Structure 1
Amino acid sequence: MPQTLSYLRETASQTAGPYVHIGLAPGAAGFEIYRQELGRDIAGASAKGERIRVEGLVIDGSGSPVKDVLLEVWQANSEGHFAHPEGGGPVETGFRGWGRVITDFETGQWGFDTVKPGRVRGRNGALQAPHLSFWLVARGINIGLCTRMYFEDEAEANTMDPVLNLIEWETRRDTLVASRTDRDGTPVYRFDIQLQGDAETVFFDV
C-alpha cells in the first residue's frame, strides 16, 4: 500500500491568462500556425436547419466588458443530435457541435455562426429546450464557468425545460435567455454573460 508523503502539498491554483489565447486559439489571437484551427467551424457546410449568429459580451461586476475571455460552446444539431456515438442519432458530415472563440481585445465582443439546435433528451428522457452550453475562462477565474444559452423565440419549450425549471426565480432564469434580432435576413441572438452583480448569469456546477 503506497504511503502518503506528508511533505507534498497541493499545487497552488492559478488563472488561465494571459497567454491562454495563444495556446488555445492562436489564429484568433493573430498567430496563424495551424492549417485548420480547432474550434472555428461548429456546424459545417452541410448542416441542416436555420443558420444563426450568436453574439455578446462578458461583463464584470463593475459593468465593464472583460476583454481576455476564451469561450467554448457545445450544441446539438437541428434534429437534437450531438456529434457523439451516444448523441441520440446521426449528424451531418462535418458537424462538430463544438467551437471555441475569444473576445475582441479592444471591445470585448465575441460571436460565432452556427445552426439553431433542436430539442434534446435529458435524464429520464425529458425533452430539453433548444440551447447552447458554454464554458468560459479568463484571468481572475480560477475554475472555468459553465452556463447555458436558451432562445427567447422558444418560449413554449423553455417553460417545459427541466434545467430552467430548477432555477427558482424567473428573473434568474431570464439571465440564460438570449434576445433575437434580425440582420440582413439572418437571426442574431444576443447573449451577454454577467460575472457578478444583481444580474449575474446563472452558472452550473458540472
Structure 2
Amino acid sequence: MAQPLSYLKETPSQTAGPYVHIGMAPGAAGFDIYRQELGQVIAGPNTPGERIRIEGVVYDGTGAPVKDVLIETWQADANGIHAHLEDPRHGEISGDFRGWGRVISDFDTGLYTFDTIKPGAVMGRNGRMMAPHISLWIVARGINVGLNTRLYFSDEDNSNDPVINLIEHVERRKTLIATRTPGSNSYRFDIRLQGEGETVFMDV
C-alpha cells in the first residue's frame, strides 16, 4: 500500500557537480556525441540585426573566477520578437533565429563568450515596454539552484525599464549593465555571485 505523501522526505539538495557539462554540453567535457551541440547558434547567418559579442567572467565571493560555468541565454530578435509560440508575433521571426543559447566558460580562464544579434525592446506582460535585454541562467559547482539574471546594454536607455526600476538601490542596477567596448561590437558583462558588487539575481 502506498504511503501518504506526508511520509515522504525531501530529497537533499546538491550542487550541479562536476558532471553538468557531460549532460548538458558533452563536447566541452571531451565527449564527441553530437554533430552540433544544442545552443551554439543563437542567431543564424540570415538573422537581421546588429551582430554583437558578449564576454565576461563569473566571479565567486572571494573574487576568483568560476571556471566551470554553464550559462543559458534567452532573448528577442532585433524587432523585439521572441521565437516562442506565446509571442503573438512569433510568425515574423527569421527562419534561423533561435533566441536561445548555451554557453560554456573557458576551463582555464573562466572567460565566457557568445555571439548573437542585439535584441530590440520587448513588450512586457503588463503592456509596458522593456529595454533591450538578454536573460541569463547560470549553473556551476557550488550553486544549488540555477541563478537568473538579466543583461542590459550601456548604450541603450534603460531608465524606464520596469524590471530595473524594481531594484530599490540605484547603484545595484549597474550590476545588470553590459558595457560596450569603444569602437567595437563587443560588450563586457562580468557576474559576481557574492560579496561587493554582487549581481542582482531574480526569483523567476
TM-score where L is the length of structure 1: 0.93
Aligned mates of 1:97, 1:88 — CA distance in 2: 16
Note the 1:154-165 alignment, pairs <5 A. 154=156, 156=157, 158-165=158-165
The residue matched to 2:175 in structure 1 has which SS? helix
Q: What is aligned with 2:65?
A: 65
Amino acid at match of 2:190: D
User: Which runs of 5 or more residues in structure 1 are unaligned?
Assistant: none
One-letter identity of the residue aligned with 1:187? N
Query: Can you list the C-alpha shifts for 1:126-181, whole angstroms capped at 9, x where unaligned?
Result: 00000000001111111100000000000x2x001000000011110000000001
The residue aligned with 2:153 is: 151
Work out the number of aligned pairs and report it: 201
Q: Look up the match of 1:117.
A: 119
Alignment of 1:16-95 (within 5 A): 16-89=16-89, 90-95=92-97
Residue in structure 2 matched with residue 11 of structure 1 by the alignment: 11
**What code does the residue aligned with 1:141 have?**
I
Q: What amino acid maps onto 2:169 in structure 1?
A: W
Secondary structure, aligned partner of 2:67: coil
Aligned to 2:191: 193
Query: SS state of the match for residue 23, structure 1?
Result: helix
Secondary structure at 1:123's aligned position in 2? Answer: coil
Q: CA RMSD in A?
A: 1.4
Identity of aligned residues (%): 65
Q: Does the aligned pair in 2 maintain the 1:28–1:101 contact within 8 Å?
A: no
- Provide TM-score, normalisation by structure 2: 0.94
**SS of equivalent residue, structure 2 residue 101:** strand
Q: Distance in 1 between the 2:5 and 2:50 partners?
A: 57
How far apart are residue 114 of structure 1 and its match? 0.2
Q: Which runs of 5+ in 2 are unaligned?
A: none
User: Structure 1 34/124 Cα, relative in aligned 2: closer, same or farther at 3 Å?
Assistant: same
1:198/1:83 CA distance change after superposition, 3 Å: same
CA distance in 2 between counterparts of 1:83 and 1:119 reads 14
Aligned equivalents of 1:24, 1:40: Cα separation in 2:
12
1:97 aligned partner:
99
